[in-house]
Amino acid sequence: MSSLDVIIVAAGSGTRLGLSVPKAFVPLMGKPILSYSLQTFLSHQAINSVILVVPDSMYESANRDYAGKRVKVTTGGEHRWQSVSRGIDISDAEWVMIHDAARPFVSNMVIDRLLAMKPKYDCVITVTPEVDTIRMYSGDQAGETVDRDKLVRVGTPQMFRKETLCQGLIRAKSLPTPPTDEAILMQQMGVKVGIAWGDPRNFKITTPSDLEIAEALIARSQQMSLGGQ
Q: What is the pLDDT of residues 176-197, one digit of tens each?
A: 888 889 999 999 999 999 999 9
| pLDDT-wise least confident of 6-10, 20-24, 122-126 | 20-24
Average of pLDDT values for 125-152?
Answer: 95
| pTM of the predicted protein model | 0.93
At residue 176, the pLDDT reads: 87
The listed CATH number (3.40.50.10490, 3.30.70.600, 3.90.550.10, 3.40.640.10) that belongs to domain 4-227: 3.90.550.10
Q: Model confidence at 204, in pLDDT bands (50, 70, 90)?
A: very high
Cα–Cα distances in Å, from 128 out to 9, 154, 189, 210? 20, 7, 24, 17
Going by pLDDT thresholds of 50, 70 and 90, the confidence category of residue 227 is low
**Percent of residues, the chain, with pLDDT higher than 90:** 83
Asked if residue 228 has pLDDT above 70, the reply is no
* Mean pLDDT of the region 58-68: 95
Q: What is the mean pLDDT of the chain?
A: 93
E strand or H helix at 227, and its extent? Answer: helix 208-227
pLDDT at 229: 55
Residue 1 has pLDDT above 60, yes or no: no
Domain ranges of the chain: 4-227
